[in-house]
Chain A
Amino acid sequence: MEKRLLKLSVNGEKYEVYINPKTLLVEVIRDHLGFTGTKRGCETVSCGACTVNVEDMSVKSCSVLAVQVEGLNVTTAEGLEKDGKLSDVQVAFLDQGAYQCGFCTSGMLMSATALLKENEGKTLTEHQIREGIEGNICRCTGYNSIVRAIDAVAQGKYKEA
């Protein structure tokens, strides 16, 4: 099988990888580039553990062909931290203890980040927050702390003074 050159940007860095065109985005991210924060879960577009953001838009990387993100900007959980400083959402997750086993966390962070970016400057109801993470399953069922963490960021509690 002929390999194909894929150029993409992940977490602000440009990469060029040679891949079989059937390679999934999650495989490029984890196996070729080593960003193992992104998890492989159900692999049937159900669980959301593999969520990454493409141009600030959440997608399930287990079900996107890597060749389709040619030239686009991908963000994984590793890319949320800037200059050694965790993002507001990450800090809020820590403060609220929004982790149990941690497997869903990277995906939850990406969905939360996309939701907050999309609704910048708007208030979010609890229902909207829950809808915003509808595609992410927490099998420990630790949803309440996750919702609290997102709510705290939405309410501006992490804005720098």
Chain B
Amino acid sequence: MDQQSPTKLKTCFYDYHLKHGAKMVDFAGWEMPLHYSAGIVAEHQHTRQAMSIFDVSHMGRLKITGKGAQPLLEHVCTRKIGGFAPGRSGYSLLCNEDGGVLDDVIVSRFERHWLMVCNASNREAIIKWLQTHAARFDAKIEDETFSTAMVSVQGPKAIEYLDTVLPEPASDIKRYQFQVQNYLIASFAVFRTGYTGEDGVEIICGKNVAQMAINFIAKSGEDKPNGLKPAGLGARDTLRLEAGMPLYGHELTPTIDPISAGLDWAVAIDKPFIGSDVIERIRLRGPERLRVGLEITGQRIARQGAKIKSENDEEIGEVTSGTLSPTLQKVIAMGYVQPPYVAVGTEVLVDIRGTHTPAKVVALPFYRR
């Protein structure tokens, strides 16, 4: 067993996690719950059948203000964020000059500022990236990660439940919209977004009211079979993989462009942004590899780095994420393969620690609600 390296960062829900039997692990320098006493599979299944609450406070929350905030974001984001009205959120990529992905983010337009939520592992790099470009746009970047908390409530019963606990009904918030709500002295933002393939919301509040918020939201969960229960990062990963959603560091890296990643829809065609020249050429020419879903026979899990081979034993690609899907009860994986092999139904082999295991290309997502 490896020794855990000493971690410095804890979210404000650290005690809550321990109280619920969490197994804590180091994630991007934060001590986060991998799972609670129920375990990854049970937490995954509970999310699909009822609802779960995830602490995602480790993710970067960056506030962008100033006259130049919108032009700055248009310059660094692949998405046309200028079309967002206040109250709208949208998924976007940030790319380098070579069209490789630096991060995937959610950008939200508030009345007088913008918010970018980015991956925990990229927070410092993205702040530097934005600051490098901010000067010429008259924009200011503020890191709100340490003064706020963020939770995600996901599952088929989530919206109905939150309608009974939030000051304003969650069901009034449309998908990819958000609302600022107030309760006594606390103000918090409720976003109809998520990373599990289920319906639900993500809530950002000030750190000073976070404890009260989580106790309030999760209050009657543990004793009811379909109540709101905590779920950790392990289930978060198996859920997003079933939903075919990419993860930075796996499906998205600085050497992978958005077209290869199958994220054309998040890339504006008619606006310049950092990397747009290269991406346009790839879009016109066709990418050299494409992200696919795989269903693998047997029960052994193919993990990141496992080679994908044609039936003639030629190397044609690589796995980027894999797991045993708790919902489908099959081994699933995402990876990149050369264009001749992307058609659904194509039979390939996956080298799982020396064993060439039969697999086939399937449509993404693996699971739809």
Q: Decide whether A and B assemble into one complex.
A: no
Task: Give the interface of B toward A (CB within 8 A).
Answer: none
Task: Give the interface of A toward B (CB within 8 A).
Answer: none
